[in-house]
Amino acid sequence: MSRSAWSTGGRNRVSEETAGRTHDSRIIERGREVLRIESESVAAMAARLGADFAEAVEAIAGTSGRVVVTGIGKSGIVGRKLASTFSSTGTPAIFLHPVEAAHGDVGMLVRGDLLLAISKSGKSAEVESLLPVIARLGIPVVVMTAEPASTLAARADVVLDVGVQVEACPHDLAPTASSTASLAMGDALAMAVSELRGFGPEDFARLHPGGDLGRRLTLTVRDVMVTDTADVPRLGQDGDLAAAMHQIAHQQGTVPIVDERSRVIGVITAGDLTRYADQNPDFLSHTVDRAMNRSPKTIAPGQMATAALASMQEYGIMALPVVDGERQLLGMVHLHDLLRARLT
């Protein structure tokens, strides 16, 4: 190939790479612009937040029934998420589709509920059709809208302005910044209500038993301990170290030592046995009480599983005897039991 052909090919490749970078740069810049518009919209809404927000929070916190969230289109999608957020943070909530409500689902509403309606225009005919029933039941209405002077807002007890200057859509049409603003306002309501009601980590765990936090805050030693006699070795203090060595080899390296009433008076581990054997070559004929740890760490079945894990980590041990108030052996909890419960 001639030098000119190589030169031309090289220039073409450079041009293609430059064009590709320019194209990518425009895409990235557009993404940044959308994020900027939406973040500025939320920041502006935060700056104008006032007494109406506090009034809405107090109304929701004082509700004896449920927060019934409604909306159509993108507002409805936001509403479904907010109903879930309220419910998971201690405020019972449901989503009511306004069209389905007009065909019987309005029967879900009862006195004591509160309606949280979301409508960008404030003129949703589907949502407005619910208002006569709402009025008859005496249900308070909180409206989130971009049009505080709208028909829907005029019939609400509390109005929250979620208006934005411009949508992130290049044509200023598709609900983008406005739906983000509604979502952010709903989250703000849910978090403020949650705090007002004193909802804490333990409450969160109770409502999220399948999550990591739920497990950490609710799982007790009783839930993970081994109680089967075959899986919980034990020796009397007058047993010989040969038997202890056999038990240690087959039972995760820790054997509790008990008295005649099955009360834990010590433990012997692989480490204890090794240290004793180093100093006593004829150790196999010796009794357990000569090598055991007489101040063993134990745990009660009602303690949190995380406490067992913390104790194992602090003292560098692999297992804990589980005992009652009289130190009677009830079972064992091993590190692998805690790992299996996904506590680490």
Query: Do residues 320 and 337 lie in contact, with contact meaning Cβ atoms separated by under 8 Å?
Result: no
Chain CA centroid to CA 163, Å:
30
Q: Which of 171, 146, 141, 175 is nearest to 156 (CA)?
A: 141
CA gap 81, 245 in Å, rounded: 58
pLDDT tens digits, 244-290? 888 887 766 788 999 999 999 999 988 888 898 888 888 888 888 88
Provide the phi-psi class of 145: left if phi over 0, else alpha when psi is between -120 and 50, else beta: beta
Q: What is the pLDDT of residue 86?
A: 96
pTM of the model: 0.68
Q: What is the DSSP string of 141-177?
A: EEEEES-TTSHHHHT-SEEEE---S--SSTTS-SSSH
CA gap 117, 145 in Å, rounded: 8
Q: Which of 235, 307, 84 is nearest to 244 (CA)?
A: 235
- Residue-range domain boundaries for the chain: 44-199, 221-340
Query: Do residues 146 and 130 lie in contact, with contact meaning Cβ atoms separated by under 8 Å?
Result: no
Q: What is the pLDDT of residue 201?
A: 79
Give the count of beta carbons closer than 10 Å to the beta carbon of residue 62.
12
Fold of the domain built from segment(s) 44-199: Rossmann fold (3.40.50)
Average model confidence (pLDDT) across the chain: 89
Fold of the domain built from segment(s) 221-340: CBS-domain (3.10.580)
Q: Any residues with CB less than 8 A from the CB of 138 and at least 6 apart, and which? A: 111
| Low-confidence spans in the chain with pLDDT less than 50 | 6
Q: What is the pLDDT of residue 6?
A: 46
